[in-house]
Amino acid sequence: MNQFNRQPVVAGTFYPGSEKLVEKQLTEFLSSDKNFSNAFGAVVPHAGWACSGEAAGKVFSSLEPCDTYIIIGPNHNGIGAGISIMTEGEWILPNGNIKIDSELSKEILNNSNTVMDDPSSHSREHSIEVQLPFIIKQNPAAKFVPISMFNYSLKSIYNIADAIVKALENYKEKTLIIASSDMSHYETADFARAQDFKAINKILELNTKGLNEIVNNEQITMCGLGPVSVVIEVTKKIGAKKGELIIYTNSGETCAPGSPEVVGYAGIVFI
């Protein structure tokens, strides 16, 4: 991977590899409804589009397109820094390219003693990549800031959230912050739903500490606890009062009917 020109790594597996098929699916997933012009952020699932694309589309359809997106996703592979950012270049997708907002990325980096500029952390990770075709479809001129993390300590969560809030203080572009996360993994549908709503209720309350406690104590297998926690903290500090659940579903309802084990997907906006 060229540091300044990231090629897609899950096109053709998690979502289509051709522009024509990407556009076809995005047209199916995205509606013309715009319900939350006052949204500060969102939680969007990141599985293969066959499983979670409809849920992701419902979230993006509910939001007005923005100039800049800060996307925070889990680092499933554990490659590179515990919290990493890219500050230059662009990512290549089947339906277009999207540039990194270097000004905002560098400001976040400079404000934090936890985040590191480490493109290697993004080299094999899908959780941010699968969101970008939706953004390109809605605003081809948009820029973004990619942040990947597997360090989920509360100290680090608060640090990166403060760094983002400080960076946004004098930033003039319309910005949305997105946490890329799936919910429970490989549980029965009923158990996954019960577990997931314990976490979802804390998210809707903007209760970061409560969310971390219940996920850790109940061993809820949502993969984006850190990213969701950061987005809660940022949106709370810039004006959000609550979360709104757009959709909850699971892989048994979308791509694997009859499966004894499912992955849960929640779409949430912060308003």
* Rounded CA separation 151/155 (Å): 10
**What is the structure's pLDDT at 38?**
86
List pLDDT tens digits, range 43-95: 999 999 999 999 999 999 999 999 999 999 999 999 999 999 999 999 999 99
Count how many residues are written for the chain.
Answer: 271
Q: Which two tokens stand for residue 66?
A: 């923005």
* Rounded CA separation 116/112 (Å): 9
Q: Is the CB of residue 224 less than 8 Å from the CB of residue 149?
A: no
Domain 5-270 sits in CATH 3.40.830.10: yes
**What is the structure's pLDDT at 108?**
98
Question: What ranges do the domains of the chain cover?
Answer: 5-270
Residue 260 to residues 12, 140, 187, Cα–Cα distance (Å): 26, 40, 8
At 177, is the secondary structure helix, strand, or coil?
Answer: strand
Residue 49 CB partners (closer than 8 Å, separation 6+): 14, 15, 16, 25, 29, 56, 130
For the chain, which ranges sit under pLDDT 50?
1-2
**What is the structure's pLDDT at 37?**
81
**What is the structure's pLDDT at 181?**
98
